A = this chain, B = another copy of it.
């Protein structure tokens, strides 16, 4: 509590890097949210839920798994799935063996909505994230992000855990 330690402030380069990261992520997120909301009537967070479900075996996941995959709190996911269920894009089922767990399943309508939203969304991601970068820069960017993720989310199985053995 009594933090007598001197703070090591950010130097100019760090300051600029930090703010660049902040603004970049905010602007990118806003651009994607606007595009998806305008063209497909859903926020980006909801698109991601549909996308992750579509890649899951049987297009279904337990709520807990799904929350982990989309980096969402259980509460936020629950609210979101409520809306997605209202839209008819996701269906909830009860797990047979463990009756605590709920399974969220992508409906055909949900898959169709995703399929229709995807091209515009991908175009937006490409335009803002990949078009401005050379391939090499993109790959080194990814390495940097993985280094950050390793600290931010240590428990996650590292996506680049090839060097482990």
Contacts and interface: CB of A to CB of B under 8 A. Distances in A.
Majority SS of interface residues in chain A? helix
Nearest to A149: B24
A13 interface: yes
Contacts of A118: 7
Size category of the A interface is 35 or more
Nearest to A45: B26
Contact of A18 (B29, B129, B149): B129
A37 interface: no
A144 B147 contact: no
Interface stretch (A57-65, A84-92, A97-105, A132-140): A132-140
Which of A16, A20, A132 has most B Cβ within 10 Å? A20
Given A10-B126, A17-B130, 20 more contacts: A3-B119, A7-B122, A14-B126, A14-B130, A16-B159, A17-B138, A17-B141, A18-B125, A20-B146, A20-B159, A21-B129, A22-B48, A26-B71, A127-B151, A128-B151, A132-B148, A132-B150, A133-B147, A137-B144, A141-B144
Interface of A: 3, 7-10, 13-14, 16-18, 20-29, 31, 48, 71, 118-120, 122-123, 125-133, 137-142, 144-153, 159
